[in-house]
Chains A and B, each alone.
Chain A
Amino acid sequence: MSLQATKIVSNIHIVNALLLSLIFSFNVNANSDEVNVYSYRQPFLVKPLFDQFTDDTGIKVNVVFSKKGMSERLAREGKYSPADILLTTDISRLIELKDRDLIQVNNSEVLSQAIPSQYRSSDHTWFALTTRVRNIYSSKRLGDIAINYEDLADPKYKGRICTRSGKHAYNVALVASMIAEHGEAYTQQWLEKFKANLARKPQGGDRNQVQAIHQNLCDIALGNSYYFGQMLKDENQKAWTDAVNINFPNQSDRGAHVNVSGMALAKHSPNVNNAKALMAFLVSKPAQQLYAEINMEYPVRSDVAPSKLVASWGSFKADKLPLETIAKNRALALKLIDKALFDL
Chain B
Amino acid sequence: MIAKSQNSFWRAICYLIAITLLTPLVVLLIQGGRASTSLFSHLWQTVLPDYIANTLILGVGVVLLSLVFGVISAALIVYTNVKWKNTLRWLLMLPLAMPAYIVAYLYTDFFDYAGPVQRALRTLFEWNSPADYMFFDLRTLGGAVIIITFVLYPYIYMLARTAFEEQDQNLLRASRTLGYSTFQSLIKVALPLARPAIAVAASLVLMEALADFATVQYFAVNTLTTAIYDTWLGYSDLAAANALASVLMLFIFFVIVIERRARAGQLHQSNRVNKNQQLIILPKFWQIIASTFCWFLVIAGFILPFSLLVIMVWEYGSYEQLLSLIPMGSNSIKIAIWAASLTVVVALIISLFKRLSNDRFSALPLHITGMGYAIPGTVLAMAMMSTFAPIDYMINDIAAYFNQPEPGLLLSGSIFAIIFSYIVRFSAIANGTIDSGISQISKSLDNAPSSLGVGLPKMLTKVHLPLLKPSILVAWLLVFVETMKELPTVLLLRPFNFETLSTQIYQLISDEMLEQGALGAIFIVILGLLPIMWLNRDPKA
Are A and B bound to each other?
yes
CA A173 to CA B113, docked complex, whole Å? 28
Closest to B496 in A: A62
Pick from A23, A96, A344: contact of B414, CB below 8 A.
A23
Q: Please report which residues of chain B, range 12-56, place their CB below 8 angstroms from some CB of chain A when the two chains form the complex.
A: 42-43, 46-47, 50
Check if B466 sits within 8 Å of A15, measured CB to CB.
no
Pick from A29, A66, A69, A80: contact of B396, CB below 8 A.
A80
Report B-chain residues with C-beta under 8 Å of the C-beta of A206: 512
Pick from A5, A65, A72: contact of B385, CB below 8 A.
A72
Q: Please report which residues of chain A, range 198-216, place their CB below 8 angstroms from some CB of chain B when the two chains form the complex.
A: 200-208, 211-212, 214-216
Check if B119 sits within 8 Å of A8, measured CB to CB.
no
Could you list some 27 contacts between A and B, CB below 8 A? A2-B466, A4-B473, A5-B348, A9-B345, A9-B465, A22-B415, A26-B414, A26-B498, A27-B413, A28-B408, A42-B508, A64-B494, A66-B491, A68-B488, A69-B381, A72-B385, A77-B385, A77-B409, A82-B496, A200-B113, A202-B220, A208-B114, A211-B114, A217-B130, A334-B235, A338-B230, A343-B222
- B139 CB–A CB distance under 8 Å: yes
Check if A334 sits within 8 Å of B389, measured CB to CB.
no
The 3 A-B residue pairs whose C-beta atoms are closest, nearest first, are: A203-B220, A62-B496, A76-B385
12 A-B pairs besides A27-B408, A67-B491, A335-B46 with CB distance below 8 A are A2-B469, A5-B469, A27-B409, A28-B496, A76-B389, A167-B230, A172-B234, A201-B220, A204-B112, A216-B128, A338-B42, A344-B50
Check if B222 sits within 8 Å of A67, measured CB to CB.
no
CA A252 to CA B43, docked complex, whole Å? 37
- B225 CB–A CB distance under 8 Å: no
- A255 CB–B CB distance under 8 Å: no
- A142 CB–B CB distance under 8 Å: no
**Contact surface of B with A, Cβ cutoff 8 Å:** 42-43, 46-47, 50, 108, 112-114, 119, 128-130, 137, 139, 219-220, 222, 229-230, 232-236, 238, 315, 338, 341-342, 344-345, 348, 378, 381-382, 385-386, 389, 392-393, 396, 406-416, 419, 460-461, 465-466, 468-469, 472-473, 488, 491-492, 494-498, 503, 506-508, 510-512, 541
Shortest beta-carbon distance from B40 to chain A in Å: 12
Report B-chain residues with C-beta under 8 Å of the C-beta of A203: 108, 139, 219-220
- A78 CB–B CB distance under 8 Å: yes
Check if B413 sits within 8 Å of A5, measured CB to CB.
no
CA A133 to CA B234, docked complex, whole Å? 21
Pick from B219, B382, B498: contact of A72, CB below 8 A.
B382
Number of A-B contacts (CB under 8 A): 192
CA A62 to CA B496, docked complex, whole Å? 6
Shortest beta-carbon distance from B101 to chain A in Å: 13
Check if B496 sits within 8 Å of A64, measured CB to CB.
yes
- A292 CB–B CB distance under 8 Å: no
Check if B344 sits within 8 Å of A8, measured CB to CB.
yes
Closest to B219 in A: A203
Pick from B47, B416, B472, B491: contact of A19, CB below 8 A.
B416
**Contact surface of A with B, Cβ cutoff 8 Å:** 1-2, 4-6, 8-9, 12, 15, 19, 22-24, 26-29, 36, 42-45, 62-69, 71-73, 76-78, 80-82, 96, 165, 167, 172, 200-208, 211-212, 214-217, 227, 236, 331, 334-335, 338-339, 341, 343-344
Report A-chain residues with C-beta under 8 Å of the C-beta of B233: 68-69
Check if A67 sits within 8 Å of B393, measured CB to CB.
no
Shortest beta-carbon distance from A184 to chain B in Å: 14
Shortest beta-carbon distance from B194 to chain A in Å: 22
Closest to A334 in B: B234
Shortest beta-carbon distance from A33 to chain B in Å: 14
CA A202 to CA B510, docked complex, whole Å? 16
CA A7 to CA B495, docked complex, whole Å? 31
Closest to A29 in B: B408
CA A68 to CA B129, docked complex, whole Å? 38
Closest to A64 in B: B496
Check if A78 sits within 8 Å of B496, measured CB to CB.
no
Report A-chain residues with C-beta under 8 Å of the C-beta of B219: 203
